[in-house]
Amino acid sequence: MSQAKPERPSGTRHWVLQDAKARFSELVRRVHSDGPQHVTVHGRDEVVVITLEDFRRLNGERTGRDLIDALQASPWRDIELDVTRSPMPVRDVEL
Q: How many domains does the chain have?
A: 1
Q: Which tens digits make up the pLDDT trace of 79-94? A: 888 888 888 888 888 8
CATH at 56: 3.40.1620.10
Is 95 a residue whose pLDDT tops 70?
Answer: yes
Domain enclosing residue 26, as ranges? 14-73
25 within 8 A of 15, measured Cβ to Cβ: no
| Cα 82 from chain centroid (whole Å) | 40
- Is 80 part of any domain? no
Q: Count CB-CB contacts under 10 A for residue 39.
A: 17
Percent of the chain with pLDDT over 90: 46
Residue 62 or 40, more confident: 40
